[in-house]
Amino acid sequence: MNSDPRNPSTPALPHEGGGGRSIRVVSLYDDVMNVYADRGNLIALRARAAEYGIEVEVTSVSVGDPLPAEADLVLIGGGQDREQRRIAQELAGRGPVLRAWAEDDVAMLAICGGFQLFGRFYRDSSGEELPGAGVFDVTTVAPGPGWPRCIGDVLAASLVPGAGELVGFENHAGRTYLGAGAQPFAIVEHGFGNNGEDGTEGARYREAIGTYLHGSLLPKNPALLDHLIGAALRHREGDDSAPLVPLPAVFAERAHAAAVQVARRRSRRVQAAPGSAYATP
């Protein structure tokens, strides 16, 4: 294998610099919404795209910054109530653009607090209601003092074709409920998921995904990472976009397998509430 010219002792990534393909990524509020190192999702995206020879053009958008004219993939991480209050009004004001992008099949990944604010609203434990961007038909309500948080390792079966089994870590007080216009991102096997009751995890609308899974999520879920890159390419290149030919992800797959065992050992086994559409038979 050839050496990386930037560091002769470092092997070059497969296909690095080749192919002439690129995707435009918008990273929303990554200086504010970054609990549990959610910024690692962008790091993993850059590294995996380089293996495929795909250039990643990143626009970081923080408080007061304008959105770019176009995007192929939008990322937003999680944050606590304080950080959510800081961005909620502005993010809600960006809602029309974000919703239009979602309708145009721009890929999106919204994590935890970002997921809540991509919904209709988030009502915190004091009763304050923060407006959402409305990308997902979901609402989130944090119960009052004394209610347990949803904390722990998660193992879930993704409903995104090809994304397979998902692993991650959740820590949230809010309980999220899907409206008629939302589909779950995954069905929980171990952990709490959206609300600890109905067995759902996250939400999906077209190519937009919302989830409570930290980890960071993408480094330990290479099939989902490849799905997002592929969705971004389809948006950039149109119907003639050549599909990705999957490359090995040996270390990511090992990390994934280890996280699966941890979730099975540490976290509760889920049985959705009786009557739920996702209840265990």
Which residues are part of the catalytic machinery? 112, 214
β-strand pairing of 121-123 with 138-141 = parallel
Q: Is the peptide bond before 216 cis (omega within 30 degrees of 0)?
A: yes
- Which residue type sits at 244? L
260, two tokens: 């699966």
Distance CA 117, CA 112 (A): 9
Residues in the chain: 281
**DSSP percent split of the chain into helix, strand, coil, nearest 5:** 30, 30, 45
- Neighbour-count burial of 240, counting CB atoms closer than 10 A to its CB (0-12 exposed, 13-18 middle, 19+ buried): exposed
Q: Are strands 107-111 and 54-61 parallel, antiparallel or unpaired?
A: unpaired
Taking CA atoms, 235 is separated from 26, 134, 221, in Å, by 14, 21, 22
Q: In this structure, are residues 157 and 184 in contact, taking their beta carbons and an 8 Å threshold?
A: no
Contact of 109 with 228, CB cutoff 8 Å? yes
